[in-house]
Structure 1
Amino acid sequence: MKLATYRDGSRDGQLVVVSRDLQSAHYATGIAHKLQQVLDDWNFLAPQLQDLYDTLNGGKARHAFPFDPAQCMAPLPRAYQWADGSAYLNHVELVRAARNAEVPKTFYEDPLMYQGGSDDFLGPQEDARFLSEEWGIDFEAEVAVVTGDVPMGAGPEQALDGVRLLMIANDWSLRNLIPNELAKGFGFFQSKPATAFSPVAVTPDELGDAWEGGRIQLVLQSAWNGRKVGMCDAGPDMTFHFGQLISHICKTRNVRAGTIVGSGTVSNKGVIDAKGRTEWPKGYSCIAEKRAIETIQDGKPSTEFMRFGDTIRIEMKGKDGQSVFGAIEQRVVGPAQPA
């Protein structure tokens, strides 16, 4: 099934069930008001939502209305936890190669992960506001999951069973703030502003065999200022699957229902052309990776980071060519003008 959260003036919005084709929706008021309620009581409430979803898809829901992504908040407008990994080691390899740094062997054995802010997510069509272009504004196209309760010590298989919903994300980064923060040895903070999520979150069964081994085997598309820059396959180059990422969190703590876990920037390996030069035909899911590629190829980056007025669109389509999660469509804006 597909679920979304409509704006209603409150912090947590109103839960709606969305049709498979993303054309119609129905308020879930008679079952649950908020998505977190469903995650807290999944075994009881999810089947009821599934019944409503089936009725909606069958065209028999009496109070259905046209679905409008512009009315959506993030599916979980605020969450108990947002833990973002860096599961595509190709991305790490490129960024480190650009500065002549090796990737430690431990990176291939133990996932990279940071804990981001989860109290204020952005909706899929909400402007991304920043106070300065000099901060190095960058989009990051990712996939993410929402979990139920997963106990401390859970292995990857048990952890994977805890996945309730799938989403796509734009995990904004401020690249020029990152070096000084990491130099402190305490991780990201100011350099990782509010993350945006897709209009809808979907249960894994909606993807059919495209949800395999804890990975989404579909292409994540990114278009910057209307120009397609990324057609990255989210499946084959994901070094750590979502079961492994969740299990990593579970090593020392319980994971509670409503935790969101991100994949990190979706990234694909390069290919060597006839002249022996490495190319990246599937493009990129963040500007930092494009700049790393340019540095490797040409000795220096030539692509600038985003400016006020720039737009980014991130979307994933199923094997039938239809949008799975709806699109993230955001505009970068500057400081709010005084009234």
Structure 2
Amino acid sequence: MRFATFRHDGERHSGVVSGDALHPLSADPLTLLRAGELYTDGWNSLDGPAGPSLAEVELLAPLQPPTVRDFVAFEEHVEGVRKSVDGTSGVPDAWYAAPAFYFTNPYAVTGPGADIAVPPGCHVLDFELEVAAVIGATGGDLTPEQARTHIVGYTILNDWSARDLQSAEMKVSLGPAKGKDFATTLGPWLVTADELEPYRDGDGFLRLGMTVAVNGEEIGRDLLSNMGWPFEELVAYASRGTQVRPGDVLGSGTCGNGGCLAELWGVRGRQDPPPLRPGDTVTMTVEGIGTISNTIVEGADPVPLPPARRRPRDRPSAA
């Protein structure tokens, strides 16, 4: 099944996609996931009358995730973007040891056709082509085998990146902050895991074709199966010492071979193609899932803040 969230006649709804029609759900996908009723409600909705057609609605992000973890699971991406962002060649040994991730902003999730505003102060805007797994059941310290049953489905993820802000922030030896938290696009819908099982290869990876184009010109093309770890291992790692819960989103990280502009800049030694500008449209397609397309628009100017004050290093007196 494919679960979508959409706006129709000014109101927000959710439904199951069947052909060009939407069959209304009783609640949004996150509520149904938490209640353990997403599949049941989905089948019930298909037995009822169809609602509006896809052509009549504005698709929104399929769900509003409580958390978004974004991994970096493609070796080729690490090699290229590392050269672009911090001028360092190669792939660090630590990348091979464990699947690294960071938490990004769940409040900045956007829909598959939404306009994306340039973040304040950004002059080097980039896209990142990814696939995300969505968690359907709570679990902690999972094995990869157990983790597979906790993945309810998949969606496309565009991890928009302000490369100039990111590069400056990461000199403080922390992960990206304002370089990343302004927009994360999910869509066009949530495709249940069973629909993608026919794409699984002999090593357990999902062999899905992935492409990205800017203004109709293809920039990148890769296979999801080029990940260093399959999603089950990413979920198992994410659950280590904690829990994954219904609605959590786990991104694959950016694919290689042009999955983002920064990778190409690192390989070519110049900003070719150029950073995204207002008016550019970024279109991503993933086999078995669908297509999302977002247009860049002007953003706000940054609210100015002063630099850190040099303060005396006073200490409290001993008691």
The verdict on a shared fold, with TM-score over 0.5 as the criterion, is yes
Distance 1:122-1:69 versus aligned 2 partners, 3 A rule:
farther
Contact 2:76–2:255 (8 Å) recurs in 1 = no
Distance 1:336-1:101 versus aligned 2 partners, 3 A rule:
closer
Contact 1:160–1:214 (8 Å) recurs in 2 = no
Give the aligned residue type for 1:224. Answer: V
Structure 1 SS opposite 2:30: helix
Residue 25 of structure 1 is matched in structure 2 by: 22
1:308 aligns with 2:278: yes
C-alpha displacement of 1:133: 7.5
Of 166, 174, 193, which aligns to 2:154?
A: 166
User: Aligned Cα RMSD in Å?
Assistant: 2.2
Give the aligned residue type for 1:52. Answer: S
Residue 43 of structure 2 is matched in structure 1 by: 50
Count of aligned pairs? 296
Q: Matches of 2:74 and 2:168 in 1, distance apart?
A: 24
Contact 1:150–1:159 (8 Å) recurs in 2 = no
Residue 4 of structure 1 is matched in structure 2 by: 4
Residue 296 of structure 2 is matched in structure 1 by: 332
Q: Matches of 1:70 and 1:311 in 2, distance apart?
A: 20
Distance 1:246-1:208 versus aligned 2 partners, 3 A rule:
closer
Structure 1 unmatched ranges of 5 or more: 56-60, 268-282, 319-323
C-alpha displacement of 1:95: 2.7
Structure 2 SS opposite 1:40: helix
Deviations 1:224-251 (A, max 9, x none): 011112221111x110111111111111
C-alpha displacement of 1:198: 1.3
Residue 31 of structure 2 is matched in structure 1 by: 37
**How high is the sequence identity, in percent, across the aligned residues?**
29
Residue 146 of structure 1 is matched in structure 2 by: 134
Residue 70 of structure 2 is matched in structure 1 by: 84
1:265 aligns with 2:254: yes
1:209-288 pair list within 5 angstroms: 209-212=198-201, 215-235=205-225, 237-267=226-256, 283-288=257-262
Structure 2 SS opposite 1:7: strand
Give the aligned residue type for 2:144. Answer: P
Q: Matches of 2:212 and 2:252 in 1, distance apart?
A: 16
Deviates more, 1:204-213 or 1:111-120: 204-213
Contact 1:6–1:73 (8 Å) recurs in 2 = yes
Distance 1:292-1:70 versus aligned 2 partners, 3 A rule:
farther
Q: Matches of 1:27 and 1:52 in 2, distance apart?
A: 6
Deviations 1:221-280 (A, max 9, x none): 211011112221111x1101111111111112111111000001111xxxxxxxxxxxxx
Residue 55 of structure 2 is matched in structure 1 by: 68
Q: Matches of 1:220 and 1:234 in 2, distance apart?
A: 7
What is the TM-score normalised by the length of structure 2?
Answer: 0.85
1:289 aligns with 2:259: no
Of 87, 93, 110, which aligns to 2:79?
A: 93
Higher share in strand: 2
Contact 1:80–1:259 (8 Å) recurs in 2 = yes
Q: Matches of 1:122 and 1:158 in 2, distance apart?
A: 30
Distance 1:69-1:110 versus aligned 2 partners, 3 A rule:
farther
What is the TM-score normalised by the length of structure 1?
Answer: 0.81
Q: Matches of 1:241 and 1:199 in 2, distance apart?
A: 22
Structure 2 unmatched ranges of 5 or more: 302-319
Contact 2:119–2:299 (8 Å) recurs in 1 = yes
Structure 2 SS opposite 1:68: helix
Give the aligned residue type for 1:111. Answer: P
Q: Matches of 1:100 and 1:130 in 2, distance apart?
A: 27
